[in-house]
Amino acid sequence: MKAKTMKWLSCIMNTMLVGLLVTIFVLVMTNISTGGSPSIFGQELKVVYSGSMEPEIQTGSIIGINQNYDVRNLAEQDIIMFQEEEGTYVTHRIIEVINNDGQLMFRTKGDNNNAADSNAVLPDNIYGQYSGLHVPYIGYVMDFANSNIGLMILLVVPGLWLIVWSVKTIISAYREEKQSHQPDQPSLNEHAS
């Protein structure tokens, strides 16, 4: 019974490790091939670093941002990512669409903030529209995987673990096979008579 349980645990561990390696490999290769902006299903994946949109979007989540949107179709309650200042992007909800003589502007607010953002967002500053794709806490892993030490730990360590686990499984199977093919040795009591 114990041997069967260990084999099942071994199989589950190996499957999880291979799945983890494949997932990390795909994320890293997507980052490399897109210049640091991974995407899935046509959505660019971005990490959320603040809690201004909680509880809908938690800090550390990855979200999908659709860059193929029509600014004229944006409406109240839509969530957009926009550039607040050079190198700083914010994801907030549109609370008002302003049409000032044909010039569209959007008043935004984080769901968890007490007040609206101080400046209206111009269409040129909008990076994309939130698609609804949201995976909590994976953003921390994605950021860690993009660092040099993270890449090493997330690819090399599970790879080494998988190799060690596989070698251990092979040795164990070899020993079981060897024991099953050895003839039974007579006991000492049988020779004494």
Phi-psi map region of 170: left, alpha, beta (phi>0 left; psi -120 to 50 alpha): alpha
- Kindly give the pairing relationship between strand 103-109 and strand 126-135: unpaired
Catalytic residue among 33, 37, 39, 50: 50
pLDDT in tens, 74-90: 999 999 999 988 888 99
> Alpha helix locations (H) across 34-147?
138-146
In contact, 39 and 29? CB cutoff 8 Å: no
Q: What's the full length of the chain, in residues?
A: 193
Q: What is the structure's pLDDT at 79? A: 95
Domains, the chain, in order of start with CATH, read 35-136 (2.10.109.10), 142-170 (no CATH)
Q: Is the pTM of this model over 0.75?
A: no
Is 50 an active-site residue?
A: yes
Mean pLDDT score of the chain: 80
Find the distance separating the first CA and the last CA of the chain, reported in whole Å: 37
pLDDT in tens, 30-87: 666 656 566 777 788 888 888 899 888 888 888 999 988 899 999 999 999 999 888 8
Give the strands of the sheet with 43-47, arranged side by side: 39-40, 43-47, 62-66, 126-135, 79-85, 88-100, 103-109
